[in-house]
A = this chain, B = another copy of it.
């Protein structure tokens, strides 16, 4: 039983922080898409909880944590309210939001990997589900908003790669029996810093080789 990386209350607080910042990103997109207050709340919930929901369905952790922990459900509603009333101010501190979002990315790729392994999945599958936990909510957010998922677009700074690195460090630690609060903290920080660097220096992933000029530029 590895699931608690840190003391339960520390872990829970970190989870809520991650959920909160993911919800902010969902609510901000809803405002930009001109959705009403209810659409803002839905997009906040989906972005914050979607990745964990997907992982829990895959590993058979039913009902998912999103429906058993009241804090998980309420937190995105607070984020939605905040954005509803104060969104010009929230947008102004977008850079700050991005830093927290990077922290959420780091946290969820590691905790998602560990939870999947706890439910008996292989190391590779656990890492894949850690990645899905970290990025799944954002993909659902973009699908509901009828946009091409920013995760898949070439013209966005690296987002998946930091999560893949964090998940990979986690499964290596598990494999070598070295998963401790210290090493998992390191995995989180590595993913977090990589994402910050990717935003700072606009690191991007390559597109297919020899793309023909007829390829649609979007």
Instruction: Please list the residues of chain A having a beta carbon within 8 angstroms of any beta carbon in chain B.
Output: 30-40, 42-43, 53, 57-60, 62-64, 67-68, 70, 73, 83-85, 87-88, 119-122, 124-125, 128-129, 139, 143-149, 151-154, 160-161, 204-212, 215-218
Contacts and interface: CB of A to CB of B under 8 A. Distances in A.
18 contacts: A30-B152, A31-B207, A31-B208, A34-B211, A36-B206, A37-B206, A37-B208, A38-B205, A39-B154, A42-B152, A58-B62, A59-B63, A60-B62, A63-B120, A68-B125, A73-B124, A87-B209, A145-B148
A41 to B, nearest CB: 9
Given A31-B215, A148-B145, A218-B34, A125 B73 contact: yes
List the number of copies, as a whole number. 3
Contacts of A122: 67-68, 70
Nearest to A53: B58
Contact of A144 (B125, B128, B143): B143
Contact of A149 (B87, B119, B144): B144
A129 B49 CA distance: 14
Contacts of A161: 38
Nearest to A145: B148
A84 B210 CA distance: 9
